[in-house]
């Protein structure tokens, strides 16, 4: 449990209900049902870089992100990592493993200070029995993830690194970008290594491209994110 701190549920009981309301899975529950979930839920906090679970771990809990961001990744045969997705507040974590009672098929690491809500598998299953709406909600989430993943698969395979990187930042911009007078700000701090893991290349290459783009005033790395300065230039690179 390195980097994790378990908080007594009683202390936070006031907030638990509020937390549950913000999750995509449990938000539609009636008040009393949410209360029942709250009674068996645990809150856990992770500092940046802390491992939430590792690939192959037995899955006994369903995680839900309350705040922070988490990268879900798989380690390839060669030892390099590939980031499958980056999850944020409200997103479930490990739903696939818990539902199928199998080991986690990928690892999860906090890339920001993160707090999660943990529901034991047994409690989760009895919820599924009682509330078909939760099953529906799960289905919706999974289908969206499937579509996302297929897009990433098409994206990763082949093509020049520069184009992939440009498309990656353009997608981030439309997803979580904030308009500013100087450009579009992406409030997501990723290391060069994590950028490389997202687009399937090495850290040196990602550093090289980011460094050049910084000098060419296309995109700048800031303390807590990235600032897109020249969106049209990136779009041109993405097309090529």
Partner DNA sequence: CGAGCGGTATGACGGGCGTCATACCGACGA
Partner DNA sequence: TCGTCGGTATGACGCCCGTCATACCGCTCG
From the list 88-96, 131-139, 211-219, 224-232, the region that binds DNA by CB under 7 A is 211-219
Total residues contacting its own copies (rule CB under 8 A)?
A: 42
What is the arrangement of strands in the sheet containing 178-180, beginning at the earlier edge strand?
A: 178-180, 183-186, 225-228, 219-222
Binders in 143-162 for DNA, by CB under 7 A: 158, 160-162
Q: Say whether residue 31 binds DNA (CB under 7 A).
A: no
Binders in 39-78 for its own copies, by CB under 8 A: 74-78
Nearest alpha carbon to residue 41 among 134, 121, 103: 121
Contact 234, 228 (CB under 8 A): yes
How far, in Å, CA of 161 to CA of 184, rounded? 22
How would you classify residue 132: left for phi > 0, otherwise alpha for psi between -120 and 50, otherwise beta? alpha
Q: Say whether residue 204 binds DNA (CB under 7 A).
A: yes
How far, in Å, CA of 30 to CA of 15, rounded? 17
Q: Which does 205 bind (CB under 5 to 8 A by kind): DNA, its own copies, none?
A: DNA
Site string for its own copies, 141-180 (x = CB under 8 A): -xxxxxx-xxxxxxxxxxx---x---x-------------
* Those residues with Cβ within 8 angstroms of residue 19's Cβ, 6 or more apart along the chain or in another chain: 43, 66, 117
How far, in Å, CA of 14 to CA of 1, rounded? 25
Binders in 96-115 for its own copies, by CB under 8 A: 96, 99-100, 105-106
Q: Say whether residue 234 binds its own copies (CB under 8 A).
A: no
Binding residues for DNA, rule: CB under 7 A, are 158, 160-162, 191-193, 201-205, 207-208, 210-212, 214, 221
Note the residues at the interface with its own copies (CB under 8 A): 74-78, 80, 82, 84, 96, 99-100, 105-106, 132, 135-136, 138-140, 142-147, 149-159, 163, 167, 200-201, 238-239
């Amino acid at each position: 449990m390195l980097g994790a701190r378990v908080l007594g549920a009683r202390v936070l009981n006031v907030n638990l209900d509020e937390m549950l309301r913000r999750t995509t899975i449990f938000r539609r529950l009636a008040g009393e049902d949410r209360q029942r979930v709250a009674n068996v839920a645990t809150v856990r906090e992770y500092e940046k870089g802390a491992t939430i679970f590792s690939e192959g771990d037995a899955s006994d809990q369903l995680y839900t992100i309350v705040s922070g961001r988490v990268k879900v990744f798989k380690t390839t045969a060669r030892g390099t990592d590939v980031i499958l997705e980056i999850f944020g507040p409200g997103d479930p974590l490990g739903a696939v493993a818990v539902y199928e009672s199998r080991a986690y098929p990928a690892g999860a690491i906090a890339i920001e200070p993160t707090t999660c809500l943990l529901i034991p598998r047994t409690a989760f299953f009895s919820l599924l029995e009682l509330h078909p709406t939760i099953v529906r909600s799960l289905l919706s989430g999974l289908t969206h993830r499937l579509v996302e993943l297929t897009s990433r698969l098409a994206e990763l395979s082949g093509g020049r690194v520069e184009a992939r990187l440009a498309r990656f930042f353009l997608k981030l911009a439309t997803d979580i970008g904030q308009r500013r007078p100087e450009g579009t700000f992406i409030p997501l701090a990723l290391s060069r290594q994590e950028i490389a893991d997202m687009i399937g290349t090495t850290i040196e290459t990602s550093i090289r491209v980011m460094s050049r783009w910084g000098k060419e005033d296309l995109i700048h790395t800031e303390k807590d994110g990235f600032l897109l300065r020249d969106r049209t230039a990136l779009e041109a690179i993405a097309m090529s």
